[in-house]
Structure 1
Amino acid sequence: MSTPNSENSCKPINFDLGKTRIENCRVADLARDFGTPLYVISEARLRENVRHYIRAFAAAWDGEVGVMPALKANHALALRYILTAEGVGCDVYSDGELVCRA
């Protein structure tokens, strides 16, 4: 399975002749390989959405813009890696949300 980079222009979700795809992966193949229910996030769409938020806030605000989604909503390390790479921080309620437990 290939992972698109930030310059990839593929459609994150594609309905092609009844064969739904998320990026380059057929949903039926994902369900077969990983089982259901399955939580899938499009990296391309996530990056696209983050960039859209940053541009929209920057266009409407004269000061510095910092997009900070709640860590509880983005707790998966893979999501945090992508959000951090896009320059997005996180909002936490307490320091306990930042503690990594093995």
Structure 2
Amino acid sequence: MKKLFISQPMRGKSDEEILKEREHAIQKAKELIGEEVEVLDTFFDDFDSNAKPLEYLARSIEYLSKADVAYFAQGWQEARGCRIEHECAVEYGIDRIE
């Protein structure tokens, strides 16, 4: 079973919208990979209200390091965190679904 990392733009979206997009990404990844996946949970809700975006990104990259494949959701090219995650995936040879 492959470990799946999901990169998705989150700014300006409700938790409900984010989680719905994640579910779509999981189903699409399963179809494309052809097997079940272990989803690395990168929907963080344990930061305090003063957390900086870079703190979220740092933890995301930690999870990305454990992934076999990274799924980049629609709009990733316009989100700076997603672009950085993508660059890391490319540079470190993590398979990608775009």
TM-score by length of 2: 0.30
- Which gives a bigger RCO, structure 1 or 2 (Cα 8 Å, sep 6+)? 2
Which protein has the bigger helix share? 2
Which of the pair is proportionally richer in strand?
A: 2
TM-score if structure 1 supplies the norm length?
Answer: 0.30
